[in-house]
Amino acid sequence: MGAHASNFPDNQALIDSLKETSEVPSHVERVFRLVDRGFYSVDPNERIYSDSAWRAERLHLSSPGIYITVLCELDIRPGQSVLNIGSGTGYLSTIFGLLLGSDSGDPDLLNFLRSSELNIESPPVVRSGSSETSTLEYWPTYDRIYVGSEISSRGQLEAILRLLKVGGRLIAPVYDQVS
């Protein structure tokens, strides 16, 4: 898929073509039809509706065929927790959200958020650090993890694996190979 991809006029035609050339489970087809790939590009790129990767500056969308494989292998179900590392445009995160459904939030956290007043005077706090040096022991764990960018060191891989629940699934390009 993707090497000599045809261009299609819209998202629906692209999905129709993918169904003709590969097995696409009905629940995966449904979310691909609901989330128009073209809405996640920053310019009207004539190649956005093809089974090929799309890139504009720092934004990237993998080919739809790759995403179909990812979704089939992750087997995301309502109630699971999913971490999308390197979420780029938000396209795949939107698809993950639709697969998870509306009941996927932590009930205690949702109740807290509903009962709290929004404090718009305080700016959000963003913390960052190297996955190799951060203390991960108090971080949540996830049923499914997808990494859209390359894991280039053993330390990065070990840190991400600590975030994966026992029995969970991880899909990531590790050392320039998909694992």
Q: Annotated catalytic sites, by residue?
A: 62
A 10 A CB-CB count for 28 gives 21
Total residues found in the chain within this entry:
179
List the beta strands (DSSP E) in the chain.
54-56, 59-61, 82-85, 142-147, 164-171, 173-174, 177-178
> How far is it, in rounded angstroms, from Cα 170 to Cα 54?
23
Coil, helix or strand at residue 104:
coil
How far is it, in rounded angstroms, from Cα 56 to Cα 89?
10
CB 80 within 8 A of CB 152: no
